[in-house]
Structure 1
Amino acid sequence: MGLQIDIPAVLANHAALAAKAPGARAAAVVKADAYGLGATRVAPALYAAGVREFFVALAHEGRAMRAHLPEDAQINILSGHMEGEDLAGLTPVLNSPAQFFRDRAMRPGGRFAIQLDTGMNRLGMEAAEWAAIRDEALAARPAFIMSHLACADEPDHPANAAQLAAFRAMTDECGVPRSLAATGGILLGPDYHFDLVRPGIGLYGGLPFAQAQPVVRLSLRVIQTRDVKAGEMVGYGASWHASRDSRIATVDAGYADGVLRALSSSGVSLFAGDAACPVVGRVSMDLITVDVTDLPEVPDALDLICPQQPIDRLADLAGTIGYEILTSLRQRYQRTYL
């Protein structure tokens, strides 16, 4: 089985999103191992293309990446300064007054940023908390102040305008660079761009950036084929029976590899070129069974993620989102970087 990752497509997607916010610096979100695609390969390529700001969720992700990026690359930690963490060479995005005072006590003069909660109620300081420490925080010179949009993938959602207004009310006249937009926010337009944008899923070929170049192809090897008579079962639970004499291929991946079990009996196919081969029976831990009856010849491998079935189509069939499809991909795949 093989996972092919198109680095030039990642770079093209970054350039396209950056071009939509020409007045802002364009960072790159590479958390969760670059959404499952390999941060130690993706981030250096983005750096070589001119990116200097990177975002990860956790300090240990940042430390792992630090060895792969030059010193002038800024690695921002979205979880902030958690007690006992080593933040050498990293920038915590501080989410509460407690984190701010801890960070200033332990790293006086160290680079930091601030996150504000503008209505998502997930991370960041609420308006009253920010007002209480605003003067002291600004005097310490944060690298930037950010917030995060809850509904940016729904352009007409009223929460977008409400969060924008809240962000402006909390940060106007601060004299500090500001950041509100991830991929969806970039697509909302210039009002949301401020000084720094943070493209994430759009880099990797996912919605809401519908114009993104595809980045991933997932090919699964055919281990065995067999003839199944009409009426015979295939797979666990006898959940599928052949309606005709069929040819069934077994391929080498399953839910242990991030092919979600919810894709069983979902209408998902594997592809031989443009020919769709339906998945039949249940997705099991290491194996998937596929109806290849209509193929004139069974190839050595079939594609699960490909231009005919991109990540968001697979997500729709699984009842989830493209983010989960990407981040569920496991390390058992042989990876090839273009």
Structure 2
Amino acid sequence: MKASQARFIADAEAGSLLHIDLGALVSNWRFMRDRAGDAEASAVVKADAYGTGIETTVPALYRAGCRTFFVAHLSEAVRARTVAPEATIYVLNGLPPGTCEVYREFELRPVLGSLDEFEEWAAFCRAQGQKLKAAVHFDTGMHRLGLTVAQGLNLKNDSRLKDFEPALLMSHFASAEERDNPLNRRQIEAFSAIRQSLPGIPCSLANSSGILREEKPHFELVRPGYALYGGNPTPDQANPMRPVVSLQSRIIQLRTVEEGEGVGYNSRWTARGKRRLATLSIGYADGYPRSASSIGVSGEATTRGMAIVADRLCPFAGTVSMDLIIVDVTDVPENDVKRGDLVTLIGGELTIDEVGRRAGTIGYEILTSLGRRYARTHREAEF
């Protein structure tokens, strides 16, 4: 085999194992579909399907009945098209200049978020003599992408709407997970005004948290993302979603350190009394955040990262380095832990939301940072 060829990573060779439960993924999509009422439930599969892999996630969701997918980049859309030839695929980040032909070739739909993109797509369709489909994105409060509300209300008189087929009008909640945030109501009202101004075109506003809001702003299509992968769309309540991702890492060495010994880069963690430490074959190069480092004196350290070792929650010791994490396993009976054992970094009580919280970030970042050095295994969905 040539050195440049990709090689399957066997479980026994891997430093860490990432398990993806496609059955749970499909169950989560069906949960959101059922709560969307008469609206179509799409799936957001950007960022390589939130780290779970477009090539495995999209086919599983398509077999479950999902027919519309959203990605961020054109390259992701081409990958999704390869595994879902009949699906409707939208590209959220819009229309990069000069890429109209790629959209036409792969039957993809740009989400037009500015008048410049609007003009380029309309001009391309005129030149081709084809009314190709696209979505139009409106900024109702995020101030990130999209035509302004005023621009949206003026579109009804824009002749360029006749050059292509506006297949979807959409906006995006800024704070859907915050039940009492008044911005949610303002966004619903602004988007409803645009919808009334451009009747007859399907509309979409609700993300994962938006689907579960009591106002039910479902319109004709909803766009669940994070919740599909096990994230909690209602952070002030129990998580209704099933976990999709679990991560285990292998212990590659066990050692004992004495009172006062410093551990890890710059000795930022210090042992109080004799401590037993396990070194794991994972680090920030694998997407586990350096911000999960544990700093200070054992027992009093600012402890962020944790691992489940032999059913016990054990704190990190020292700085998360590029390829290694050290865990304090002093409280685990010696006979219950040995070199080669797998310990849990995501799973059980260490949900993606909890791992994100401990690292001072969010579960979204944990998911989308999942590395390529893992041996990946999948539990197939049943249909």
Shift in alpha-carbon separation, 1:13–1:281, aligned structure 2, 3 A: same
In the alignment, which residue of structure 2 is the partner of 1:163? 187
Alignment pair present for 1:281 and 2:295:
no
Query: How many Å separate the matches in 1 of 2:276 and 2:224?
Result: 44
Counterpart for residue 138 of structure 2: 116
State the match for 1:22 in structure 2: 37
Which residue, out of 253, 263, 267, partners 2:304?
Answer: 267
SS of equivalent residue, structure 1 residue 67: helix
User: What fraction of aligned residue pairs are identical, expressed as a percent?
Assistant: 46
Q: CA deviation at 1:268?
A: 2.3
Structure 2 residue 60 is matched with structure 1 residue 45? yes
Shift of 1:32: 0.4
- Could you report, residue by residue, the CA deviation over 1:59-115 in whole angstroms, capped at 9, with x for unpaired residues? 1110122111122x0110011222122213101111112211211222331111111
Does 2:349 match 1:308? yes
Q: Please, which of 318, 329, 332 is the counterpart of residue 370 of structure 2? A: 329
Alignment of 1:212-251 (within 5 A): 212-251=241-280
Match of 1:92 in 2: 110
How much has 1:272 moved relative to structure 2? Answer: 2.2
2:94 matches 1:83: no
Distance 1:141 1:166 in 2: 23
Contact 1:217 1:305 in 2 (8 A): yes
Does the 8 Å contact 1:5/1:335 carry over to 2?
yes
Cα deviation, 1:220-257, whole Å, max 9, x if unaligned, reads: 11111111122212111111121121211100111111
Residue pair 1:21, 1:190 contacting (<8 A) in 2 also: no
1:176 to 189, 201, 214: 201
| Counterpart residue identity of residue 224, structure 2 | P
User: What residue number does 1:195 align with?
Assistant: 220
Alpha-carbon displacement from aligned partner over 1:304-324 (angstroms, at most 9, x marks no partner): 101121011111111111101
Question: Separation in 2 of the partners of 1:321 and 1:82?
Answer: 29
Amino acid of the structure 1 residue aligned with 2:137:
Q
Match among 182, 185, 189 for residue 210 of structure 2: 185
Q: Which residue of 1 aligns with 2:4?
A: none
Q: Which runs of 5+ in 2 are unaligned?
A: 1-15, 295-302
CA distance in 1, matches of 2:167, 2:182: 29
Structure 2: which amino acid aligns with 1:82? Answer: P
Q: Does 1:154 align with 2:175?
A: no
Confirm or deny: 8 A CA contact 1:224 1:251 kept in the other structure.
yes
Q: Distance in 1 between matches of 2:288 and 2:75?
A: 27
Residues 199/137 of structure 1: CA separation in 2 closer, same or farther (3 Å cut): farther
**Partner SS state of residue 23, structure 2:** helix
Q: How many residues align?
A: 337
Equivalent AA in structure 1 for residue 124 of structure 2: M
Contact 1:96–1:129 (8 Å) recurs in 2: no
Q: Unpaired segments of 5 or more residues in structure 1?
A: none
Residue 138 of structure 1 and its aligned partner are, at CA, apart by 4.8
Counterpart Cα distance in 2 of 1:55 and 1:137:
24
Matched, 1:204 2:222: no
The answer (yes or no) to whether the contact 1:151–1:157 under 8 Å persists in 2 is: yes
**How far 1:118 sits from its partner (Å)?**
0.8
Q: Is the 8 A contact 2:119 2:160 kept in 1?
A: no
Cα contact 2:289–2:359 (8 A) shared by 1:
yes
1:104 matched to which residue of 2? 122
> Which amino acid counterpart does residue 151 of structure 1 have in structure 2?
S
TM-score of the two chains, using structure 1 as the length reference? 0.96
What is the DSSP-based 3-state SS (H/G/I as helix, E as strand, rest coil) of the residue aligned with 1:293? Answer: coil
The answer to whether the 8 Å contact 1:248/1:289 transfers is yes
- Runs of 4+, deviation exceeding 6 Å: none
Aligned residue number for residue 145 of structure 1 = 169
- Taking the aligned partners of 1:36 and 1:314, their CA distance within structure 2 comes to 15
Aligned equivalent of 1:298:
337
| In structure 2, distance between residues paired with 1:189 and 1:35 | 26
Secondary structure of 1:320's counterpart equals coil
Q: CA RMSD in A?
A: 1.4
Q: Distance in 2 between matches of 1:166 and 1:96?
A: 17
| Amino acid of the structure 2 residue aligned with 1:145 | L
Q: Tell me which of 336, 341, 361 is aligned to 1:320.
A: 361
Counterparts of 2:90 and 2:225, CA distance in 1 = 14
- 2-side partners of 1:59 and 1:32: how far apart? 12
Which deviates the most, 283-292 or 190-199? Answer: 190-199
Contact 1:97 1:133 in 2 (8 A): no
Please say if residues 131 and 165 of structure 2, whose CA atoms lie closer than 8 Å, have aligned partners that are also in contact.
Answer: no
